[in-house]
Amino acid sequence: MTQPGIFALGTPEHCYLELDLAPGAGAEQLVRGIAGLTGPLSSTGGVNLVVGFRPELWAEVAPADAPADAASWTEDLVGAGQYRMPATQHDAWVWIAGGNRTAVFDNARVVLAELAGTARVGAEVTGWLYRHDRDLTGFIDGTENPSLLSAAQVAAVPDGEPGAGASIVLFQVWRHDTATWESLGEHGQEQMMGRTKADSIELDDDEMLPSAHVARTTVEVDGEERQIFRRNVAYGGVTDHGTAFVGFARDQWRMAEMLRRMAGATDGVRDGLTGFLTPLTGAYYTCPSVDALARFAPPEED
Ligand code: HEM
């Protein structure tokens, strides 16, 4: 089974912790520590928890449960005109989501307390849902997401393949230059995005620029679209803010290809958004299936 929190829509408050092994701690110790987060993982914890590991770290500890193409993001992605997306890989990723900020805050502190001596914080992002379903560009984010009926097919490694039930997440924090973005006006923004702002209708083919975001992130193989499942949130305060991009897929290739296309690394055409939004981080994590994770958890008491 795929970690259920990936599909638990509607939680307004979020915290993402990227963790690194503490000095002297080992890979299996980290996996056991995270699989044993009994407080936040319990039904009385009041939050959803999704966890992931640096793909090579997970593959070392559980080789039979590792998705075939999952790998760390180790080198900056260089695109057209020396455009760069930075690689900032860490050892583990913990996403705590809940109905109110207090529950998220308290559980994030529990996570860190339980992992003391095993992991330390490499980066932390607190996020929230802005105007129900919009990101801080003001556009509705998630329109083309698969529904919950097919999200698992898109996000989880299928049965019979290595790492079945696992999902690969791309976690990438983007700072927005909101003043410059707003100076484009609604029509200019719609051309950058490739959809209308008010109701997220895709622009007609004759209006769609090749650099529009939705044109750049539409990846097809043999005429078939390679979808992903996105759970982006807004982060930050009024003077420094943006989007925490959180995308899940059954294979890593499709997300890496979207990034290459956004950076202009494949055909020299850069995503219009990249003139206004700056990627600050970038990492991939394997989110193991519940069954694989449970093998590393302490036995549950009756
Ligand atoms: C700050 C960064 C980003 C923002 C604000 C953003 C925002 C949006 C918005 C508003 C849409 C249109 C509505 C929708 O279908 O959800 C969209 C579509 C999409 N985005 Fe992004 N996005 C960002 C980064 C990314 C990245 C890094 C990827 C992939 C690696 C990505 C993949 C997609 C995909 C696959 C679609 C659907 C395309 C389609 O089939 O029409 N986005 N994004």
Q: What confidence category does residue 207 fall into, taking pLDDT thresholds of 50, 70 and 90? A: very high
Under DSSP, is residue 245 helix (H, G, I), strand (E, B) or coil? strand
pLDDT band at 43 (very low <50, low <70, confident <90, very high): confident
Residue 39: pLDDT band with limits 50, 70, 90 = confident
Mean pLDDT of the chain: 96
Residue from 133, 144, 192, 235 to probe ligand 1 pocket by mutation (most atoms less than 8 Å from CB) = 144
What is d(CA 63, CA 89) in angstroms, rounded to the nearest whole number? 20
The reported pTM is 0.97
Task: Give burial (CB, 10 Å; 0-12/13-18/19+) of 240.
Answer: exposed
Query: How many angstroms is it from 142 CA to the middle of ligand 1?
Result: 7
The residue contributing the CA closest to ligand 1 atom 10 is: 141
pLDDT of residue 44: 73
Residue 267's pLDDT is 97
Say which residues have a Cβ less than 8 Å from residue 255's Cβ, sequence separation at least 6: 168, 170, 228, 247, 249, 284
Q: How confident is the model at residue 183 (pLDDT cuts 50, 70, 90)?
A: very high
Atom in ligand 1 nearest the alpha carbon of residue 243: 1
Place of tokens 């898109």: 154
- Tens digit of each residue's pLDDT (9 = 90 or more) over 284-296: 999 999 999 999 9
What pLDDT is attached to residue 45? 75
Kindly tell me if the per-residue pLDDT of 302 is higher than 70: no
Ligand 1 mean position, distance from CA 257 (Å)? 13
Q: From the CB of 73, is ligand 1 less than 6 Å away?
A: no
Cα–Cα distance, 239 to 231 (Å, whole number): 23
Percent of the chain with pLDDT over 70: 99
For 58-101, the pLDDT digits (tens) are: 999 999 999 999 999 999 999 999 999 999 999 999 999 999 99
Q: Looking at residues 12-31, what average pLDDT do you find? A: 98
Q: Where are the domains of the chain?
A: 4-294
> Mean pLDDT throughout 157-163?
97
Q: What is the mean pLDDT of residues 188-192?
A: 98
**DSSP secondary structure string for all residues of 209-231:** -TTSHHHHT--EETTEE---EE-
* Phi, psi values for residue 64, rounded to 5°: -75, -15
pLDDT band at 300 (very low <50, low <70, confident <90, very high): confident
